[in-house]
Amino acid sequence: MKWLIFLIGFTYYLYYLISTQKLYLFIHPRMTIYMIFSLIVFTILCLCQLKKVLRKNEKFDSPSLVFFLPLILIYLVNPQGLNSDIVSQKGLATSYYNSSSNNSNSTVNKTIEITDSNFCDKIDDITYNVNKYKGKEVKLSGFIYKDTNSPKDTFTVARMIIVCCAADAEVNGITCYIQNSKDFKNDEWVEVTGKISSIKNFDPTDINAKFIPLVNITSIKPIKKPDNPYIYLKKV
C-alpha cells in the first residue's frame, strides 16, 4: 500500500515535470527521453502494484519510510532550481573548453554579445585571452554573485552550467566593476554592457591566471529571471 502511494505520487510528479517542462530545472533536456521511459515504466509498475493490492489474499512487503522523503520534499518544498547560494559552496569554475573555438571575427570592433548558446566559449575565450579583448565592448546577462574575496565594488555576473543534472552544475561568469555595487544584491538578474579590462586575480584557489578580465560596466539594467536559468552544455 505504501509502495503504491509512493509509485502514484512519483509517477504523477514525473508526468507533471515532463508536461510543464520543469524537468529542465533538474536535468539536461537531452535526458528527457530517459524520463519518458521511466514514466512509462512507473505507470506499468503502478498498475502491477494496484493489481497486487486489490488481490485480497496476497501479502506484500511494505517499503521503508525512506521513500516518502522525496515525496515530502517534492510536494512541500516544490524545488525551483538552484540559486546563487550554491555558488558560494561550489566556487567558480574556470573553464569547460579552452581554445576549442578560434574566433576569426573577433577583430570586428563591435559589441560582443554573449548569449546562452555561446556563453561558455566566449567567457573562456575572454578569460584566457584577456589582452586580445581589452577595450572591447561586451554585453551579457546573468545573476549577480558577490564573492567574499572580491574587491570593493565588483561582483560576478554568472550563469549556471549544467552537463547532466543539477548535481553537477558548475558556475561560470565574468567579474564586473561598477561604483556603488551595494545597490545590487546576490541572485539578482541583470543585463550588463561594458568595456573589458583586466584586474589582478583575487581568487586564491585559481593559481593559473595572474590577471583576469574585468568588465567596467557602462550600463546595467535588471531583468526578470529567465524561465530557464541554466545553460546546458551540449555534448557535441
Partner 1 sequence: MLQRKEKTNFNPIIFCLLMPIALVILISIVTIRTKFGYILESPLLQCFSTIFISIILEALPFIIIGVFISSLIQNFISEDTIEKLIPKNKYIGVVVAASLGIFFPICDCAIVPVVRRLLKKGLPMPIGIAFMLSVPIINPVVLASTYYAFPDAPYIVLLRGSLGWISAITIALILDKLEINNTKKVHSLCNRLIYSNDNHIHTHIHSHNSTHNESECACTHHHHHHSNNKQSSLYSIFEHTNDELMEVGKYIIIGAFLSSLMQTFLPEKYILSIGKGNVSSILVMMALAYMLCVCSETDAFIARTFVGRFTSGSIIAFLIFGPMIDIKNTLMLGQAFKHKFIFKLIFTIILVCFSVGAAVNLLKISL
31 binds partner 1 (CB under 8 A): yes
Residue type, 171: V
Applying CB under 8 A, the span of 80-88, 138-146, 151-159, 218-226 interacting with partner 1 comes to 80-88
Burial of 133 (0-12, 13-18, 19+ CB in 10 A): buried
Distance of closest approach, residue 88 Cβ to partner 1, in angstroms: 7
Strand partners, 231: 161
Distance of closest approach, residue 67 Cβ to partner 1, in angstroms: 7
Residue closer to partner 1, measured from CB, 88 or 103: 88
Pick the binder of partner 1 from 205, 210, 221, 227 (CB under 8 A): 205
Q: How far apart are CA 36 and CA 30, in angstroms?
A: 11
> Mutual orientation of helices 2-20 and 32-54 as an angle, nearest 10°?
150
29 binds partner 1 (CB under 8 A): no
Applying CB under 8 A, the span of 89-97, 109-117, 132-140, 215-223 interacting with partner 1 comes to 89-97
Residue appearing with cell numbers 546595467: 220
- Write out the binding residues for partner 1, residues 33-72 only, by CB under 8 A: 34-35, 37-38, 41, 44-45, 48-49, 52-54, 56, 58-67, 69-70
- Write out the binding residues for partner 1, residues 123-182 only, by CB under 8 A: 163-168, 170
- Beta-strand ranges (E) seen in the chain are 112-113, 137-145, 154-162, 170-177, 189-200, 211-222, 230-232
Q: How far apart are CA 142 and CA 187, in angstroms?
A: 9
Applying CB under 8 A, the span of 90-98, 130-138, 191-199, 210-218 interacting with partner 1 comes to 90-98
76 binds partner 1 (CB under 8 A): yes
Q: How far apart are CA 89 and CA 87, in angstroms?
A: 5
- Residue 147 burial (CB count, 10 A): 17
Distance of closest approach, residue 114 Cβ to partner 1, in angstroms: 19
199 binds partner 1 (CB under 8 A): no
Kindly state the cell numbers that stand for 40.
Answer: 512509462
